[in-house]
A and B are shown apart, each in its own frame.
Chain A
Amino acid sequence: QVQLVQSGSELKKPGASVRVSCKASGYNFPTYGVAWVRRAPGQGLQWMGWINTDTGNPTYAQGFTGRFVFSLDTSVSTAFLQISSLKAQDTALYYCARMVFASDYFDYWGQGTLVTVSS
């Protein structure tokens, strides 16, 4: 069965970096994209962008350029989200999701990774 398993919660200080992993199983990894979605406290879901697992090409939504980097290790069917120069406002649950090419929607989700930024 399709599964996306994310890495565990992170507690970081402002200015630090964090990397969240998302390991896929149960399907052919290069045939679906991986999207990243944020849910900050008290807010709704926010589309961050996605990475094409076939070409490695990332696409970033407005507001998620510069400090946010999507990457892959296709040898282990894993996608990564790295956030640098962390700010308190980056505190949120971060989800990865399997993205259907051409239709651009998500059919399976990871369990979420809580990133807390606090001094």
Chain B
Amino acid sequence: SYELTQPPSVSVSPGQTARITCSGDALPKKYAYWYQQRSGQAPVLVIYEDTKRPSGIPERFSGSSSGTKTTLTISGAQVEDEADYYCYSTDSGGDHNVFGGGTKLTVL
């Protein structure tokens, strides 16, 4: 089955840039999406179609993609950005939708 691989954790100080990566064989052909899940809350879409930011999401959130890796970048991370982040995509056939294992972002 298809897998997306993320680092389990990333830690930065407030104001620093946080980068969370997601690797998958089909990412050169398929869009990736990023979800933020704060403790006790439902997930929120923060990046769609690799690089696009939904309305209401702060400009410090951005996405990029190169080859089999996609990256969520939070420029000037804030304490309120502390959350679990998940990438999401599908395999090359479009048959298996999957989430990455999630990355816990700590900002302190």
Contact = CB atoms under 8 A, between A and B. Distances in A.
Tell me what chain B mostly uses at the interface: helix, strand, loop, or mixed: strand
Given A61-B96, A105-B33, A109-B43, A45 B102 contact: yes
Interface residues of A, number: 18
B97 interface: yes
Interface in B77-99: 84, 86, 88, 90, 94, 96-99
Interface of B: 1, 31, 33, 35, 37, 42-45, 48-49, 54, 84, 86, 88, 90, 94, 96-102
B89 to A, nearest CB: 9
Tell me what chain A mostly uses at the interface: helix, strand, loop, or mixed: strand
A85 interface: no
B47 to A, nearest CB: 10
A110 interface: yes
27 contacts: A37-B99, A44-B84, A44-B86, A44-B99, A44-B101, A44-B102, A45-B43, A45-B86, A45-B88, A45-B102, A46-B99, A47-B88, A47-B97, A47-B98, A47-B99, A61-B97, A62-B96, A95-B42, A95-B43, A103-B31, A103-B49, A104-B94, A107-B45, A107-B48, A107-B54, A109-B42, A111-B42
